[in-house]
A and B are shown apart, each in its own frame.
Chain A
Amino acid sequence: MARNKKGTGAFSSERRNILKFGALSCAAGAAGGSGLLGLSHLFQPTEAEAFDVPKASDDPFIYTTCVNNCGSTCVLKAFVRNDKVVRIETDDGVEDDWENGIFQIRACPRGRSMRRHMYSPGRLKTPLKRVGKRGEGKFEPVSWDEALDIVAAKLKHCIKEYGNASVYSHYASGVITGPMTRRENFWRLMNLLGGFSLGYSDYSSAQNQAGLRYLYGKPGYSGNAISDIVHTKLAVFFGANLCETRSSGGGLQYEIMEAKRKGNTRIIIIDPRYTDTSVAVADEWIPIRPGTDAALASALAYVLIKENMIDREYLNTHCVGFDVATLPEGAPENSSYSDYIMGTGYDMVPKTPEWAASITGIPAARIYGLAREIGQAKPCYIMQGWGVQRQAAGEMNVMAIAALANLTGNVGLRGGNNGDLDAYHSSKTPRMPIGQNAVKTRFPVFLWLKAVEDGKSMTADQDGIIGGDRYPADIKFIWNYAGNTLINQHSEIAETERVLSDESKCEMIVVMDTHMTSSAKWADIVLPSCMYPEQTDIVGPSYAMNTDWALLTEAVKPFFDSRPVYDVCVDLARRMGVEQEYTEGRDREGWIEHLYQTGTRKIFPEMPATVAEARKLGVHYRAKSRDFPVPFADFRQDPVANPLKTPSGKVELYSAALYALSQKRKLDSNVLGDVIPFVPQYVPTWDGCEDVKAKETYPLQLIGFHYKGRTHSHYANVDWLLEALPQMVWINPIDAAQRGISHNDMVKVSNERGEVHIRAKVTPRIIPGVLAMGQGAWHRPMAQGSKVDVGGCINTLTKYRPTAISRANPMHTNLVQVDRI
């Protein structure tokens, strides 16, 4: 037998001969009459000598990272052979010690698939210039010089002809940590050229930020740390799917697992889906119809008030507008929060559990019970995720949930919470200094497409423009680095395509990315970017972590002609005549040294004196107690001495600012839910569960969720991940049976905006009447311009209709129909 064994050297010729002999003698023995029916164990298997243990490869590794927008940063060890990453491992530098805040920052499946991601077929190799119509996806390779000459010329043209406000750096979150890799590199350049246009807020939590600014004067990121559940016996989560969204082993998933065990805390999760967070940590799941959290919160408030389980003293001293006693001057009559709840407000409907049961889908008895549980637990940790607010009137869900924390007086207490998500307490990683942006006027980021189509029509009153009354320009130049919000992650893809396909509106779209994303297909110039393991940088915990650590990453050889964004911005700066100002005489390593000394070592003085030494060290961790400062604790102790940043200095259950906005802003009375209430309340909306008219054609609600196989649209094309975590639409067996849909069937999910072809996951883990589709799958139209998407992208079906209050994204408010294909 010819054998060709490479590498392991496991086989010796002697052993082969023994095996051969063994086989022959055995065959002879068997021919002698053994091996008959039923005698299976008469003979034992041939005693073969154990083959040698394969030798573990001894490739060297570099420290690198996965820093996309999941809120965590993870540590990767990339093993390198012939300038290519051949294997990925994760952090193993410390023993886990959760209570002191030091634990392994283990990557989730996304980070672990980095190698496959880096060398996947869709990876961009060279700069590309569009040759077909915009969006057609036809490009020809060009040199870096040619590509950057085109970009620089157009940049000069747009600044000169339309002003700096016409140059827009699009919302993108593909890189969240690392000064040399983040989007500030371009911002620094643009500020040297007289400024640029930037949206404010984001697609993640815009309505949370807005709602909580009205309520607490602080735009979100304001809750007690998740580890605070150690100090309470009851935690109630509205949404909040930490185990899928923040699945890093160095992040909140691990923290909630440990905190629940240590505190023996009962956790109730209210969510349309039985999420993996429910699987892992919930003691009870209360399924709810999407968009009705405010109805549940109002009914809970009703029981709390009716059964006198509210903290009346706190409400009188710390809040305005709970009832008439604290209603500010100028407020309409009967407009207090308790008027709305108890049925003496504008609609004269008491918000009883029976009222809420038919809206939310939660039995009235369970609402009574939940209210009593919340009312009797002292303290009670009431928290909300960001899914509840990505709705057509999501601001109200945010405020109504937070109102519960005030009714029960849980704000500013250890083990309590103000109703918001974790405020986060991580060490800061330095960022590239950006200087001053001379363009002060900004629009809500969700309105960027309107700014492309008709930016000059946008006003403060109507569109929420800040820093001016009116937006000064139409967007003519889009720089889109490390982001897929140009097409994939923005609502209503057909509408986005309509606006972008008009080349007289936006004249130049530059996409710099690592892969041919669905956004990159719409670029005029595509620039291939290095991935994290291909560039050196400084990283540390991302925004949604509660730990202190730092790491100086190393790099492997870039893929083909891909380049780091910093280097590209230097080349652009040279063409724009500001190279010296941009670089300040430093090269990349010079900047890293500079930022390390002025940033990292300010926070971690104990770190080595030089970057070179720090790189040798690997991950630097610093211990920290899991008891973090309690947000609003000073306000709780003395609201007069420590007022909030609201107009009244108190928690505004009645918001005079919202009342003022409601008087100024013109709303469309034909659109259900296009209203601006000024106390937290339930608002039935278009495409919501109470949109009876639309439900005649499209009877099912559709929500998106953060899928564990991707971070938004990042990693969406990695075949290993798609195999283990396929893109499917969740459907309850009741809805599936009505339509003859079986598990894993191909179905079409459709509404008037488009159609998605996708496989069905028939599972009782979702409430009947609701479909759920992981957001972020790459849009793949069946043909150019087709409204049929076979990629499973939910934004084929979402609506580009900004919310009334914050002009934010309502991506979980959709009605659809589903059928077998």
Chain B
Amino acid sequence: MTYEYPLVFFTVLGQLAAGIALLICLTGLQKHPAEERRAWIVSLATLAVAGVSAFFHLQSFGATPFALSNVGSSWLSREILLGAIFFVLIALRVWNVLKAGTNWLVGIVGVIFVLVMSQIYAQNAVAPLWHSWGPILSFLGTMLLLGGTAVLALAPDAWERPAVVAGVSSALVGGLFALSMPIFWVGGVLSPLNPVLLGTFATATICVTLTQMTCFAAGGVLTAFGVPGKRMLAQIGFVIILVGAVVGRMLFYAANIRLGG
């Protein structure tokens, strides 16, 4: 099993950045410029780390300038393009070149970035595990879950505002829903696999799922205690949830079980 750590961090952090951008719009954070600015900075920094992490996935950098050559047919080219655009848009917001009125645009580009990212994995060769709604749901779910909890960690006092309650709640509900959906078809997807392979994979799945659920539960509890103004608790809760997302993503890459060996 290979875990593709650079991509684990790239995808999870990329989705976190997109989640923050989206939640800024959904929670109307622009009415509190200090909080908003902090959120944009965190989003930008997260995306930067994600981008650096992605570079570790590459073997050589000489030809990276050509990485957009195939944007007509390669989802990877498109992902790089969307990532770059998204990064530039956030940066423009951080330095206030773009005004708050364009927040919706940045949020939507972030969502598109995550959708494009998921298309890289919707491929026949790793059927049946990747070639399904799994990648889209898990990427969007991660985006919503991390975005929602990140906003709480960044602004635990904002919980009293109805817009924040609505935005964060719907993000968390939507995120958990999207993340749990694959459970309903994973059995059918796995059944044609070689029992030996399945055995190893099933063991890993159970371990990882339990770890992930524990992280989510613990993080959720801490966050819940943290939101009435205890910033530290909310932040620790967020980090634990982030760890859960990373662990889950490791399994996602380990599930690269190929048809022909």
Contacts of B70 in A (CB 8 A): 26, 45-46
What separation, in Å, do the CA atoms of A820 and B134 have in the docked complex?
35
Pick out which of these stretches binds chain A: B77-85, B99-107, B205-213.
B77-85
Chain A CB within 8 A of B69 CB: yes
Interface residues in B, total, Cβ within 8 A: 24
Is A37 touching B119 in the complex (CB atoms < 8 A)?
Answer: yes
Q: Which of B63, B69, B119, B200 has most chain A Cβ within 10 Å?
A: B69
Within the complex, the shortest CB–CB distance from A501 to chain B, in Å, comes to 42
A3 to chain B: closest residue by CB: B62
Q: Which of B62, B63, B72, B74 has most chain A Cβ within 10 Å?
A: B72
Is A46 touching B69 in the complex (CB atoms < 8 A)?
Answer: yes
- Contact among A2, A3, A27, A41 for B71, CB-based, below 8 A: A27
Chain B CB within 8 A of A20 CB: yes
B194 to chain A: closest residue by CB: A743
- Contact among B66, B78, B82 for A19, CB-based, below 8 A: B66
Summed over the interface, the residue pairs from A and B with CB atoms below 8 Å come to a total of 73
Chain B CB within 8 A of A648 CB: no
Is B65 touching A26 in the complex (CB atoms < 8 A)?
Answer: no
B68 to chain A: closest residue by CB: A27
Known contacts being A26-B69, A45-B70, is A35 close to B77, with CB within 8 Å? yes
- Contact among B62, B71, B116 for A34, CB-based, below 8 A: B71
Chain B CB within 8 A of A40 CB: yes
User: Could you tell me which residues of chain B, from 200 to 257, have a CB within 8 Å of some CB in chain A?
Assistant: 200
Contacts of A762 in B (CB 8 A): 196
Is B63 touching A43 in the complex (CB atoms < 8 A)?
Answer: no
What separation, in Å, do the CA atoms of A185 and B41 have in the docked complex?
82
What separation, in Å, do the CA atoms of A31 and B200 have in the docked complex?
44
Within the complex, the shortest CB–CB distance from B237 to chain A, in Å, comes to 33
Q: Which of A2, A20, A27, A743 has most chain B Cβ within 10 Å?
A: A27
Contacts of A41 in B (CB 8 A): 72-73
What separation, in Å, do the CA atoms of A22 and B77 have in the docked complex?
14
Chain A CB within 8 A of B199 CB: yes
Is A22 touching B69 in the complex (CB atoms < 8 A)?
Answer: yes
B82 to chain A: closest residue by CB: A35
Known contacts being A40-B75, A742-B200, is A27 close to B112, with CB within 8 Å? no
Is B81 touching A31 in the complex (CB atoms < 8 A)?
Answer: yes
Is A20 touching B65 in the complex (CB atoms < 8 A)?
Answer: yes
Is B81 touching A742 in the complex (CB atoms < 8 A)?
Answer: no
Contacts of B119 in A (CB 8 A): 37, 40
Known contacts being A37-B116, A37-B119, A742-B196, is A44 close to B66, with CB within 8 Å? no
- Contact among B62, B69, B78, B196 for A35, CB-based, below 8 A: B78
Contacts of B62 in A (CB 8 A): 1-3
Chain A CB within 8 A of B190 CB: no
Known contacts being A37-B112, A37-B119, is A23 close to B75, with CB within 8 Å? no
Is A31 touching B85 in the complex (CB atoms < 8 A)?
Answer: yes
User: Could you tell me which residues of chain A, from 37 to 57, have a CB within 8 Å of some CB in chain B?
Assistant: 37, 40-46
A38 to chain B: closest residue by CB: B119
Q: Name the interface size band of chain A.
A: 20 to 34
Within the complex, the shortest CB–CB distance from B124 to chain A, in Å, comes to 13
Within the complex, the shortest CB–CB distance from B257 to chain A, in Å, comes to 14
A36 to chain B: closest residue by CB: B112
What separation, in Å, do the CA atoms of A374 and B259 have in the docked complex?
43
B64 to chain A: closest residue by CB: A1
What separation, in Å, do the CA atoms of A20 and B67 have in the docked complex?
11
Within the complex, the shortest CB–CB distance from A764 to chain B, in Å, comes to 12
Is A1 touching B77 in the complex (CB atoms < 8 A)?
Answer: no
Contacts of B68 in A (CB 8 A): 23, 26-27, 30
What separation, in Å, do the CA atoms of A23 and B80 have in the docked complex?
14
Contacts of A26 in B (CB 8 A): 68-72
Within the complex, the shortest CB–CB distance from A743 to chain B, in Å, comes to 4
Contacts of A46 in B (CB 8 A): 69-70, 72
Chain A CB within 8 A of B45 CB: no
Is B78 touching A30 in the complex (CB atoms < 8 A)?
Answer: yes
Within the complex, the shortest CB–CB distance from A363 to chain B, in Å, comes to 27
Contacts of A20 in B (CB 8 A): 65-66
Contacts of B81 in A (CB 8 A): 27, 30-31, 35
What separation, in Å, do the CA atoms of A22 and B65 have in the docked complex?
11
Chain A CB within 8 A of B54 CB: no
- Contact among B65, B73, B85, B115 for A45, CB-based, below 8 A: B73
What separation, in Å, do the CA atoms of A722 and B30 have in the docked complex?
63
Known contacts being A23-B65, A37-B112, A743-B196, is A30 close to B75, with CB within 8 Å? no
Contacts of A1 in B (CB 8 A): 62-63, 65
Chain A 193-216 per-residue mask, 1 if CB under 8 angstroms from chain B, else 0: 000000000000000000000000
What separation, in Å, do the CA atoms of A547 and B68 have in the docked complex?
60
Is B72 touching A44 in the complex (CB atoms < 8 A)?
Answer: yes
Within the complex, the shortest CB–CB distance from B146 to chain A, in Å, comes to 21
Is B196 touching A23 in the complex (CB atoms < 8 A)?
Answer: no
Within the complex, the shortest CB–CB distance from B238 to chain A, in Å, comes to 29
What separation, in Å, do the CA atoms of A49 and B252 have in the docked complex?
37
Contacts of A742 in B (CB 8 A): 196, 199-200
What separation, in Å, do the CA atoms of A41 and B75 have in the docked complex?
10
User: Could you tell me which residues of chain A, from 744 to 760, have a CB within 8 Å of some CB in chain B?
Assistant: 744
Is B72 touching A37 in the complex (CB atoms < 8 A)?
Answer: no
What separation, in Å, do the CA atoms of A20 and B66 have in the docked complex?
7
Known contacts being A31-B85, A742-B196, A762-B196, is A40 close to B65, with CB within 8 Å? no
Is B115 touching A37 in the complex (CB atoms < 8 A)?
Answer: yes
What separation, in Å, do the CA atoms of A26 and B77 have in the docked complex?
11
User: Could you tell me which residues of chain A, from 116 to 147, have a CB within 8 Å of some CB in chain B?
Assistant: none
A37 to chain B: closest residue by CB: B115
Contacts of A29 in B (CB 8 A): 71
Within the complex, the shortest CB–CB distance from A628 to chain B, in Å, comes to 42
A35 to chain B: closest residue by CB: B78
Residues of B within 8 A of A (CB): 62-63, 65-66, 68-75, 77-78, 81-82, 85, 112, 115-116, 119, 196, 199-200
What are the 6 closest A-B residue pairs judged by CB atoms, nearest first?
A43-B72, A30-B71, A27-B68, A35-B78, A743-B196, A23-B69
Residues of A within 8 A of B (CB): 1-3, 19-20, 22-23, 26-27, 29-31, 34-37, 40-46, 742-744, 762
List 24 interface pairs A-B (beta carbons < 8 Å), by A numbering.
A3-B62, A20-B65, A23-B66, A26-B70, A26-B72, A27-B81, A30-B71, A34-B71, A35-B71, A35-B77, A35-B81, A35-B82, A40-B119, A41-B72, A42-B72, A43-B71, A44-B73, A45-B72, A46-B69, A46-B70, A742-B199, A742-B200, A744-B196, A762-B196
- 13 new A-B contacts, CB < 8 A, other than A45-B72, A46-B69, are A2-B62, A26-B68, A29-B71, A30-B77, A30-B78, A34-B71, A35-B78, A36-B112, A37-B115, A44-B72, A45-B74, A742-B196, A742-B199
